[in-house]
Structure 1
Amino acid sequence: MTGNNAEAGIAKFQQLKEAFEAVHEDATKFFEKGNKAAAVRARKKLLELREIAQEMRKLIQETKHQIEEEHRGAHGSGGGAGGGATTSKAPQPLGNAAPMMPLHPPGPPGY
């Protein structure tokens, strides 16, 4: 894993953990003691938690792609079939392809 993303990932995870602990504290105050102000704080912190989680998802995805590129560069640059220029996208259907037959023929009438 690349150094900068590793440090950023650990820092983001720590931020996520702290946000979760803050939500837990206020949610406990609300559910156990009926503290309405704690409910408002918990809901606000849950929004922050969601934002942090989305940032972390993005960082993880970017790091994953960087690792794949590094791996491809180290193992795929030796020529041969493909030459390391492949993409990880799923194959696209052909525009004029014939429709596929069902795997199983239809059952008997009235079945």
Structure 2
Amino acid sequence: MSRFNEVKDLISGLEGDFEKFYDKGNKAAGTRVRNGMNEIKKLAQDIRKEVTDMKNSKK
């Protein structure tokens, strides 16, 4: 369950940058959003692999 909390923390940490980029047009915040979303993507892939491995090992 800690992996889920990691995802939530990453998303909540990007909230300010999302607001700065979309509401104020801050380009640097947009870069931080893109980098953060890439980290979320990597974490999601790791979690998917972990879930698949756990599921397959129980057979």
Q: TM-score, normalised by structure 1?
A: 0.49
Task: Please tell me whether residue 64 in structure 1 is matched to residue 55 in structure 2.
Answer: yes
Matching residue within 10, 13, 17 for 1:26 = 17
Q: Give me the CA root mean square deviation.
A: 1.2
Q: Which has the higher contact order (CA 8 A, sep 6+)?
A: 2
Task: Show structure 1 runs of 4+ deviating over 3 A.
Answer: none
* Secondary structure class of the residue paired with 2:44: helix
Q: Which amino acid aligns with 2:48?
A: R
What percentage of aligned pairs have identical amino acids? Answer: 32
Gaps of 5+ in 1: 1-9, 70-111
Q: For 1:53 and 1:25, locate their aligned partners in 2 and report how far apart those are by CA, in whole Å.
A: 21
Q: Which has the higher helix share?
A: 2
Alignment correspondent of 1:15? 6
